[in-house]
Structure 1
Amino acid sequence: QNERLAALGQTVAEINHEIKNPLIMIGGFARQLLKKATEEKDRAKLTIIVDEVTRLEHLLAGLKELYRPPQLNLAGVSLNELLAEIVALAHSYSGGKGVDIRLASSTDVVVEVDREKMKQVLVNLVKNAIEATPPGGEIVVSTRVQEDLVEVEVTDTGEGIPEELKKRIFLPFFTTKEQGTGLGLCISKRIIEDHPGCSFQLDSKEGKGTVATIGFRRGKG
């Protein structure tokens, strides 16, 4: 499996390199022209180019991450500290949408994870929850400790996932968002599964909301 991922990763890296350089040039020139453009129709066309270049840049970065062989820097991490950081970031991401975002965690535990990669996962889950939750809704990031195991839940009161889409949400490139790459959940699931003893579950009911659950083994500390 690792050899296959390494081969795929090398191929993706080479394709990424060939596409990224001209893409940077196109985006750079388009941004320069946009700053100087005065006609509204010209600005509208250039804005589309800039937005699409940005989307492709995110797609290339996601592909590189998806097919990169697992490289984890495991260390003991305070879960409460990490989740407090995630909730603080979530408030900035919500942009005054009117969604109540809160942390419900009491007992702090230490988990053995790659902090930056797990932060990437949690940020992605919280962003998804924000996008799915209407004004007046609620997002709760909570923990549940059971002996040697601890679970983190990201719960929202959003629109939920239709039954017919549930089997496809972890497939690469599948998205229901206009500007989405369809790689966020796929990459998040892979990062979690790369961590020894970690698990990931997504429960959703259309019209009622979604609960994303990450299971961890407790570390020492």
Structure 2
Amino acid sequence: MAAGVAHEIRNPLTTVKGFLQLGLQNKDFESYSQIFELMIDEINRVNAIITEFLDIAKKKPNKLEEHNLNQIINTFYPLLETRALKEDKLIIRELNEIPNLIIDQNEIRQLLLNMVSNSLDAMDVRKIVKIHTYIEDDKIVMSINDEGTGIPPEIIERISTPFVTSKENGTGLGLAICYAIAKRNNATIDFTTSDNGTNFNIRFNR
């Protein structure tokens, strides 16, 4: 149903965007170019939200293969570090030896990006996000710990619900996507939070 609704919404949006792009090329509308560009940006934002919504609705991962979480983290780390350094924050890795898992690499990258982005958003400058991997109770755990202000008490019970967010400009889909990805990749998510920071644990079944 989600895919059908998304398709019906995207069709008219594509038409509107196409005419706006034509308008940008028409000299008669040159004085409206900034308005057209803003409208196109907003249409792109709607499309991005629809894509995120579909990520929640998916039932199966795209490509399950044998991968190592440490390798995924190390490969993706430069991208995460670039944002952190721009904001005068730090990401450190504590990666222990762990066996491979049957997972969707691209989905785990998305989960990692969403989780670390949330952690960075929650922190002031010169604070640290720690990515930690280890084995506990026959599960492989990827832990993401930040030194932020914690999750507001009023949304803790609904943290995995789509469109629930404490961010002024957030969609409330980032964590909902993470929970959906974890479920599709045979994992669960739990967390602890306080005024001193939040720790998310993604626990993969072996």
SS of alignment partner, residue 186 of structure 1: helix
Among 78, 103, 114, the alignment partner of 2:93 is 103
* C-alpha spacing 1:32/1:104, structure 2 compared with 1 (3 Å): farther
Corresponding residue of 2:150 = 160
Distance 1:38-1:133 versus aligned 2 partners, 3 A rule:
farther
In structure 1, the residue matched to 2:177 is: 187
1:216 maps to 2:184 = no
> Structure 1 residues 32, 94: closer, same or farther in 2, change over 3 A?
farther
CA distance in 2, matches of 1:103, 1:210: 16
* Cα distance change, pair 200–48 in 1 and its aligned pair in 2 (3 A): same
* Structure 1: 5+ residue stretches without partners: 1-10
Secondary structure of the corresponding residue to residue 157 of structure 2: coil
Query: Contact (CA 8 Å) 2:93, 2:130: kept in 1 or not?
Result: yes
- Distance across 2 between alignment mates of 1:184 and 1:122: 11
The residue type equivalent to 2:205 in the other structure is R
Report the residue type matching 1:64 in the other structure.
L
Residue in structure 2 matched with residue 16 of structure 1 by the alignment = 6
How large is the RMSD of aligned CA atoms in angstroms? 2.5
- Corresponding residue of 2:76: 86
1:1-221 alignment runs, 5 A limit: 11-30=1-20, 43=34, 45-71=35-61, 73-94=63-84, 96-146=86-136, 148-196=138-186, 198-205=187-194, 207-218=195-206
C-alpha distance in 1 between matches for 2:30 and 2:84:
32
Change (3 A) 1:173 1:34: farther
Local SS of the residue matching 1:216: strand
Q: Secondary structure at the match of 2:118?
A: helix
Q: Give, in whole Å, the separation in 2 of the partners of 1:47 and 1:95.
A: 30
In the aligned structure 2, how far is the partner of 1:15 from the partner of 1:150? 37
3-state SS of paired residue (2:141): strand
* Structure 2: runs of 5+ lacking an equivalent: none
Structure 1 vs Structure 2: percent identity of aligned residues? 26
Q: How many residues were matched structurally?
A: 204
| Residues 75 and 148 of structure 1: CA distance in aligned 2, closer, same or farther (over 3 Å) | farther
Following superposition, the deviation at residue 108 of structure 1 comes to 4.0
Aligned-partner SS, 1:167: helix
Tell me if structure 2 keeps the 8 A contact 1:87–1:102. Answer: no
